[in-house]
Structure 1
């Protein structure tokens, strides 16, 4: 692979800008913006300054020729709707021509109920996104897998599930205006500590009340990243998986909640039904797999996947 440009087949990935960024087709403005800035940091040249291979130039090429164009398309709602329409068209072509996508993960999601498919899809995307640019040279294959998942998911969804993508806002936006402080004020300012993990947790509670399992999982995953030892987050995540009948995943999270806090009321409420014994320890390997969604995807990672061309 040349270090100065990307192969034509890589550039064709822009037919699915969602796959390029590594986000779900239901992502809203906030999620798209957050993912773009994550990738900007991940692919920044400074990360490869001490590299002795072509990674620095490859990272720059990926960001300038793939990430930037994909973000430019998705940050505008009208262009986003056009992208969804084109992906739906590709999904219909696959369906009408009876082309079987030989992907175990695609076959798995097609056998699920709509709520289960929704949660599984969001978690699969999160898992792929986490691994997507860890190896720059493997990012093409990961993007292809995300595209397959997007097309299969869109086959299962009704068109009215993607209106002009109005975001359900749990916390209203507040315009923050800059304030110029005097020197005396600046020297007496005490930092205001914000518990962002609790914000994610509170939003997750609201999403659970709305039965929006995918967004609840996303908020709880973010909360756990910030506070990995809070039993409340694991207990609620276990409940969300239990509601979707992912009993194995629910058991892992409830068990971890009880490990962190044996008196966690929510975890205790469901422990008996999940056959979790008091004081039962969590297998660290199982916990790591659950956190990365590997428990759902590990059986699909063996062997080569077929690729869906643009």
Structure 2
């Protein structure tokens, strides 16, 4: 069984582990562990003796496919920090792009408009946690509702100001095979994909220039979801990895970029840079001769051109 979510942060290809465990985004390790133990006890086979075989299987899959991975991510300082960092980037990006958010519950609408949203957010999380896993059939719906809360909280934390006029109240879904009588379909105008990808690339290039490499990679990966065969996205991710000294990963992306566009200048320059770096490592004791050879190579003098702009060292 696979679990599908199409609300809240899940809509942006983000696995909302906080929603799975029903803990606030700023929860500490102690709080996360306490909540995990509560859920694990509820879903353990010994707690499901009186339930049907189907419910027992559902409990096992909820534990193994959702709850355990969520705890594994949030219980370690490094992965939790990275998870929250990416989450904050999503919130900032959605605020910058003025993305509309649908509200499927009263508490989400309240969270969007209340002045002191932090209190409402934490109170709602605490209340929902009391019954989140009581009905196994409702767990997916509850997680989706929690992720919607987390999305609104993240956007508000990033400075989003919702107004009553801007709220989109979700209507009950109408099955595609049975449209409502006399109701014209509402069709949103398609957003031009090219312009969105170009915006991602532009932001990524600015972030690379500021040496904000993790943020740049997120922007480029989002762009690739819209346009997987964009050679510039691949070449710029190669730049990010190269600046992080991850030459193997960088080479993979440069090669992919050149498969898509053999004339991609950034990818060509990046691959040449890797070859030069490998040559330096192999030279070993011949550093003096190697230094003289490099001084004769194009693009190395003064750190200018593509090498100086994109492949230069960290700014101080």
TM-score under structure 1 normalisation? Answer: 0.46
**Bigger CA radius of gyration:** 2
User: Greater relative contact order: 1 or 2 (C-alpha under 8 angstroms, separation 6 or more)?
Assistant: 1
